[in-house]
Chains A and B, each alone.
Chain A
Amino acid sequence: MPEPESPEPESPEPESREPESAPRPEQSASPSGWRRLVRAFLRPSRSQLILALCLAIVAFGLVWQVRSGTRNDYANARQEDLVQLVDGLGAEEARLNGELNDLENTKRELESGRDSAAVARSEAERRRDVLAVLAGTSPAQGPGIRITIDDPLQKVTASTLIDALQEMRDAGAEAMEFNDSVRVVASTWVANQGSGLVVDNKQVSRPIVLDVIGDPQTLEEAVRFRGGLASQVTGDKVGASITVDRSDKIRVDSVVTAPQPSFARPTR
Chain B
Amino acid sequence: MIAVLGLIAGVVLGILLEPSLPPFVEPYLPIMIVAAIDALFGGCRAYLEGTFTDKVFVVSFVSNTIIAAGIVWLGDQIGVGSQLSTGVIVVLGIRIFTNAASIRRSLFHA
Contact = CB atoms under 8 A, between A and B. Distances in A.
Contacts of B53: 11, 24, 47
Interface in A50-84: 50-65, 67-68, 75-76, 78, 80-81
Contacts of A19: 49-51
Contacts, number: 182
A51 B3 contact: yes
B109 to A, nearest CB: 9
B32 A61 contact: yes
A55 B7 contact: yes
Interface stretch (A26-34, A153-161, A204-212, A258-266): A26-34
A188 B64 CA distance: 113
Contacts of B15: 63, 67
A16 B30 CA distance: 30
Contacts of B106: 33
A194 interface: no
A62 B107 contact: no
Contacts of A34: 107
B74 interface: no
Interface in A1-54: 1, 3-5, 7-12, 15-16, 19-20, 22, 24, 26-27, 31, 33-34, 36-37, 40-42, 44, 46-54
B82 A80 contact: yes
Given A33-B106, A80-B82, A81-B82, A54 B40 contact: yes
Contact of A4 (B6, B26, B63, B107): B63
A51 B51 contact: no
Contacts of A78: 27, 76, 81-82
B32 A8 contact: no
A75 B1 contact: no
B57 A61 contact: no
Interface of A: 1, 3-5, 7-12, 15-16, 19-20, 22, 24, 26-27, 31, 33-34, 36-37, 40-42, 44, 46-65, 67-68, 75-76, 78, 80-81
Given A52-B6, A59-B11, 4 more contacts: A1-B88, A4-B38, A19-B49, A44-B1
6 contacts: A16-B49, A16-B51, A27-B50, A33-B107, A58-B40, A65-B33
Interface of B: 1-11, 13-15, 18-21, 23, 26-27, 29-30, 32-33, 35-40, 42-43, 45-54, 56-61, 63-64, 67-68, 71, 76, 81-82, 87-88, 91, 95, 102-103, 106-107
